[in-house]
Chain A
Amino acid sequence: MKNAHMTLTINGEETEVSFAPYKTLLEVLREDLRLTGTKHGCELGECGACAVLLDGKPVLSCLVLGLECDGREVLTVEGLAEDGRLHPLQETFADMGAAQCGYCTPAILVTARELLDRIPNPSREQVREALSGILCRCTGYHQIFEAVEAAMTCTPLPAAGRARDEPLETEA
Chain B
Amino acid sequence: MSSGNGTPRDDLKIIGRPRRRVDGRAKVTGQTLFADDLVLPRMLHCKLLRSSLPHARILQIDVSRALAHPGVHLVLTGGDFPIPYGILPVSEDETALCTDVVRFVGDPVAAVVARDEFTAAEAVDLIEVEYETLLTIATPEEALATPEPRIHEHSEKGNIHKLVSLSFGDVDQALKDSYRVFDDTFFYQGSTHLAIEQHATLAAMDPDGKLTVWSSTQTPHYLHRALAKVLETPAAHIRVIACPNGGGFGGKSDPFNHEIVVAGAARILDRPVKICLTREEVFYCHRGRHPVQMSFRTGVDREGNITGMHVRTFLDGGAYGSYGVASTFYTGALQTVTYHVPRYRFQGCRVFTNKPPCGPKRGHGTPQPRFGQEVQLDKIAEALDQDPADLRLRIVEKPDTITANYMTVSTIGLAECIRRVVKRSDWRRKFRQLPEGHGLGLACSSYLSGAGLPIYWNRMPHTGVQLKLDRSGGVTVFCGAIEIGQGSDDVLVACVAEVLGIQPFDIRAVTGDTDLTPVDLGSYSSRVTLMMGNAAIQAAERAREILASAVAAHLKVPRSRLVFADNTVLDSADPDTSVSFQEAVCLAEAASGTVGTVGSYTPPRSAARYKGGGVGPTPTYSYTASVVEVRVDPETGWIDVPRVWIAHDIGRALNPTLVRGQVEGDVYMAVGEALMEEQTFRRLPSRLSPALVHKFPSMLEYKSPTSHDMPEVITDLVEDPDPAGPFGAKEVGQGPLLPVMPAVANAVYDAVGVRVDEIPITPEKILKGLELKRAGRSPRVGPGPFPDIDWPEPLEVPPPWEGGDGKAETPKDVPR
Q: Spell out A's residues near B (CB within 8 Å).
A: 20, 22, 30-31, 34-44, 46-47, 49, 76-78, 80-81, 86, 89-91, 93-97, 99-106, 109, 127-129, 131-145, 162-165, 167, 171-172
Question: Cβ of B196 and Cβ of A102 under 8 Å apart?
Answer: no
Question: Cβ of B707 and Cβ of A100 under 8 Å apart?
Answer: no
Question: Cβ of A135 and Cβ of B247 under 8 Å apart?
Answer: no
| B244 interface residue (CB < 8 Å to A) | yes
Question: Cβ of A97 and Cβ of B657 under 8 Å apart?
Answer: yes
Q: For B276, give the chain A residue with the smallest CB separation.
A: A40
| Alpha-carbon separation in the docked complex, A119 to B700 (Å) | 28
Question: Cβ of B668 and Cβ of A140 under 8 Å apart?
Answer: yes
| B2 interface residue (CB < 8 Å to A) | no
Question: Which of chain B's residues have a CB closer than 8 A to the CB of A164?
Answer: 503, 505
Q: Whole-angstrom distance from the CB of B20 to the nearest CB of chain A?
A: 5
Question: Cβ of A34 and Cβ of B39 under 8 Å apart?
Answer: yes
Question: Which of chain A's residues have a CB closer than 8 A to the CB of B20?
Answer: 94-95, 165, 167
Chain B, range 184-209, C-beta contacts under 8 Å to A: 193-198
Q: Whole-angstrom distance from the CB of A34 to the nearest CB of chain B?
A: 7
| B57 interface residue (CB < 8 Å to A) | no
Interface string of B691-706 (1 = CB under 8 A from A): 0000000111000101
New contact pairs (17) apart from A41-B246, A77-B28, A97-B21, CB-CB < 8 Å = A36-B36, A37-B30, A43-B278, A46-B279, A95-B20, A101-B247, A102-B27, A134-B707, A138-B661, A139-B664, A140-B661, A140-B666, A141-B710, A143-B657, A143-B660, A164-B503, A171-B18
Question: Which of chain A's residues have a CB closer than 8 A to the CB of B28?
Answer: 77, 86, 89-91, 93-94, 99, 102, 105, 109
Q: For A92, give the chain B residue with the smallest CB separation.
A: B28
Q: For B38, give the chain A residue with the smallest CB separation.
A: A36
Q: Whole-angstrom distance from the CB of A147 to the nearest CB of chain B?
A: 9
Question: Cβ of B196 and Cβ of A135 under 8 Å apart?
Answer: yes
| Alpha-carbon separation in the docked complex, A61 to B24 (Å) | 24
Question: Cβ of A163 and Cβ of B244 under 8 Å apart?
Answer: no
Question: Cβ of A97 and Cβ of B661 under 8 Å apart?
Answer: yes
Question: Cβ of B699 and Cβ of A132 under 8 Å apart?
Answer: no
Question: Which of chain B's residues have a CB closer than 8 A to the CB of A30?
Answer: 37
Question: Which of chain A's residues have a CB closer than 8 A to the CB of B19?
Answer: 165, 167
| Alpha-carbon separation in the docked complex, A42 to B28 (Å) | 21
Question: Which of chain B's residues have a CB closer than 8 A to the CB of A22?
Answer: 118
Question: Cβ of B33 and Cβ of A78 under 8 Å apart?
Answer: no
Question: Cβ of B198 and Cβ of A142 under 8 Å apart?
Answer: no
Question: Cβ of A78 and Cβ of B664 under 8 Å apart?
Answer: no
Question: Cβ of A95 and Cβ of B194 under 8 Å apart?
Answer: no
A135-B699, A139-B668 given as contacts; is B24 within 8 A of A103 (CB)?
no
Question: Which of chain A's residues have a CB closer than 8 A to the CB of B708?
Answer: 128-129, 132
Question: Which of chain B's residues have a CB closer than 8 A to the CB of A128?
Answer: 707-708
| Alpha-carbon separation in the docked complex, A40 to B698 (Å) | 14
Q: Spell out B's residues near A (CB within 8 Å).
A: 17-34, 36-37, 39, 116, 118, 193-198, 244-249, 278-279, 484-487, 503-505, 657-658, 660-661, 664-669, 698-700, 704, 706-708, 710, 712-713
Question: Cβ of B246 and Cβ of A139 under 8 Å apart?
Answer: no
Q: Whole-angstrom distance from the CB of B720 to the nearest CB of chain A?
A: 23
8 pairs of A and B residues whose beta carbons are closest in the complex: A37-B30, A101-B485, A102-B27, A103-B246, A94-B24, A140-B664, A140-B668, A77-B30
Question: Cβ of A90 and Cβ of B706 under 8 Å apart?
Answer: no
Question: Cβ of B24 and Cβ of A99 under 8 Å apart?
Answer: yes
Question: Which of chain A's residues have a CB closer than 8 A to the CB of B25?
Answer: 86, 90, 94, 162
Question: Cβ of A97 and Cβ of B246 under 8 Å apart?
Answer: no
Q: Whole-angstrom distance from the CB of A39 to the nearest CB of chain B?
A: 7
Question: Which of chain A's residues have a CB closer than 8 A to the CB of B669?
Answer: 137
A90-B28, A143-B660 given as contacts; is B21 within 8 A of A39 (CB)?
no
Question: Cβ of A132 and Cβ of B39 under 8 Å apart?
Answer: no
Q: For B663, give the chain A residue with the smallest CB separation.
A: A140
Q: Whole-angstrom distance from the CB of A35 to the nearest CB of chain B?
A: 8
Task: Specify which of B21, B486, B710 is in contact with A140 (CB 8 Å cutoff).
Answer: B710
Task: Specify which of A42, A90, A94, A135 is in contact with B21 (CB 8 Å cutoff).
Answer: A94
A100-B486, A165-B20 given as contacts; is B668 within 8 A of A47 (CB)?
no
Task: Specify which of A40, A105, A129 is in contact with B27 (CB 8 Å cutoff).
Answer: A105
Q: For A81, give the chain B residue with the smallest CB separation.
A: B29
Q: Whole-angstrom distance from the CB of B71 to the nearest CB of chain A?
A: 11
Instruction: List 25 contacting pairs A-B, 8 Å CB cutoff, sorted by A.
Output: A34-B39, A36-B33, A36-B36, A37-B29, A37-B30, A38-B30, A41-B246, A41-B279, A41-B699, A43-B279, A90-B29, A94-B24, A101-B484, A103-B247, A105-B28, A135-B704, A136-B196, A137-B193, A137-B196, A137-B665, A139-B664, A140-B668, A165-B19, A165-B22, A165-B504
Question: Which of chain B's residues have a CB closer than 8 A to the CB of A171?
Answer: 18, 657
| Alpha-carbon separation in the docked complex, A78 to B29 (Å) | 6
Question: Which of chain A's residues have a CB closer than 8 A to the CB of B698?
Answer: 42, 44, 46
A44-B279, A136-B196 given as contacts; is B660 within 8 A of A99 (CB)?
no
A-B interface contact total, Cβ < 8 Å: 196
Question: Cβ of B699 and Cβ of A143 under 8 Å apart?
Answer: no
Q: For A94, give the chain B residue with the smallest CB separation.
A: B24
Question: Which of chain A's residues have a CB closer than 8 A to the CB of B244?
Answer: 101-102
Q: For B484, give the chain A residue with the smallest CB separation.
A: A101
Question: Cβ of A142 and Cβ of B503 under 8 Å apart?
Answer: no
Question: Cβ of B486 and Cβ of A103 under 8 Å apart?
Answer: no
Task: Specify which of A47, A129, A145 is in contact with B699 (CB 8 Å cutoff).
Answer: A47
Highest count of chain A CB atoms <10 Å: which of B29, B118, B197: B29
Question: Which of chain B's residues have a CB closer than 8 A to the CB of A36?
Answer: 30, 33, 36-37, 39
Question: Cβ of B661 and Cβ of A137 under 8 Å apart?
Answer: no
Highest count of chain B CB atoms <10 Å: which of A81, A96, A100, A165: A100
A90-B29, A97-B661, A165-B504 given as contacts; is B699 within 8 A of A103 (CB)?
no
Question: Which of chain A's residues have a CB closer than 8 A to the CB of B116?
Answer: 20
Question: Cβ of A39 and Cβ of B34 under 8 Å apart?
Answer: yes
Task: Specify which of B29, B278, B664, B667 is in contact with A86 (CB 8 Å cutoff).
Answer: B29
Question: Which of chain A's residues have a CB closer than 8 A to the CB of B37?
Answer: 30, 36
Question: Cβ of B29 and Cβ of A77 under 8 Å apart?
Answer: yes
Q: Whole-angstrom distance from the CB of B701 to the nearest CB of chain A?
A: 9
Q: Whole-angstrom distance from the CB of B207 to the nearest CB of chain A?
A: 22
Task: Specify which of B487, B505, B700, B707 is in contact with A141 (CB 8 Å cutoff).
Answer: B707
| Alpha-carbon separation in the docked complex, A63 to B21 (Å) | 33
Question: Cβ of A100 and Cβ of B485 under 8 Å apart?
Answer: yes
Question: Cβ of B699 and Cβ of A138 under 8 Å apart?
Answer: no
| Alpha-carbon separation in the docked complex, A49 to B699 (Å) | 12
Question: Cβ of A137 and Cβ of B664 under 8 Å apart?
Answer: no
Question: Cβ of A39 and Cβ of B24 under 8 Å apart?
Answer: no
Question: Cβ of B246 and Cβ of A141 under 8 Å apart?
Answer: no
Q: Whole-angstrom distance from the CB of A80 to the nearest CB of chain B?
A: 8
| Alpha-carbon separation in the docked complex, A96 to B19 (Å) | 8
Question: Cβ of B32 and Cβ of A102 under 8 Å apart?
Answer: yes
A97-B660, A99-B24, A138-B247 given as contacts; is B30 within 8 A of A78 (CB)?
yes
Question: Which of chain A's residues have a CB closer than 8 A to the CB of B246?
Answer: 39, 41, 101-103
Question: Which of chain B's residues have a CB closer than 8 A to the CB of A106?
Answer: 30
Question: Which of chain B's residues have a CB closer than 8 A to the CB of A95?
Answer: 20, 24, 657
| Alpha-carbon separation in the docked complex, A167 to B655 (Å) | 12
Question: Cβ of B196 and Cβ of A142 under 8 Å apart?
Answer: no
Question: Which of chain A's residues have a CB closer than 8 A to the CB of B34?
Answer: 39, 103
Question: Which of chain A's residues have a CB closer than 8 A to the CB of B657?
Answer: 95-97, 143, 171
A34-B39, A103-B196, A131-B707 given as contacts; is B485 within 8 A of A138 (CB)?
yes
Question: Which of chain B's residues have a CB closer than 8 A to the CB of A39?
Answer: 34, 196-197, 246
| Alpha-carbon separation in the docked complex, A39 to B245 (Å) | 13
| Alpha-carbon separation in the docked complex, A32 to B698 (Å) | 27
Question: Which of chain A's residues have a CB closer than 8 A to the CB of B198?
Answer: 40-42
Highest count of chain A CB atoms <10 Å: which of B21, B24, B33, B249: B24
| Alpha-carbon separation in the docked complex, A22 to B194 (Å) | 28
| Alpha-carbon separation in the docked complex, A44 to B22 (Å) | 33
Question: Cβ of A142 and Cβ of B279 under 8 Å apart?
Answer: no
Question: Which of chain B's residues have a CB closer than 8 A to the CB of A43?
Answer: 278-279
| Alpha-carbon separation in the docked complex, A38 to B29 (Å) | 10
Q: Whole-angstrom distance from the CB of A85 to the nearest CB of chain B?
A: 12
Question: Which of chain B's residues have a CB closer than 8 A to the CB of A101?
Answer: 27, 195-197, 244-248, 484-485
